[in-house]
Structure 1
Amino acid sequence: MNKKVVVKIKELTQVNHISLRKLSEISNIRLASLSELANGKRESMSFSHIEKIAAALNIQDIREIIDLVDVEEE
Structure 2
Amino acid sequence: MGKKVVVKIKELTKANGISLRELSRISNVRKASLSELANGKRESISFSHIEKIAAALNIQDIREIIDLVDAEEPEQDIAQA
Greater RCO (Cα-Cα under 8 Å, separation 6 or more): 1
User: What's the secondary structure of 1:68's corresponding residue?
Assistant: strand
User: What's the secondary structure of 1:12's corresponding residue?
Assistant: helix
Q: What is the deviation of 1:72?
A: 3.6
Structure 2 length-normalised TM:
0.88
Aligned residues between the structures: 74
* Structure 1: tracts of 5 or more residues without a match: none
CA distance in 2, matches of 1:72, 1:61: 26
Structure 1 length-normalised TM:
0.96
* Structure 2: tracts of 5 or more residues without a match: 75-81
The one-letter amino acid of 1:4's match is K
Match of 1:24?
24
Bigger Rg, which one: 2
CA distance in 2, matches of 1:32, 1:50: 15
**Percent of aligned pairs with the same residue?**
85
CA distance in 1, matches of 2:24, 2:5: 21
Q: Which runs of 4+ in 1 moved over 4 A?
A: none
RMSD across aligned C-alpha pairs, in angstroms?
0.8
Q: Deviations over 1:24-48 (max 9, x none)?
A: 0000000100011001110100000
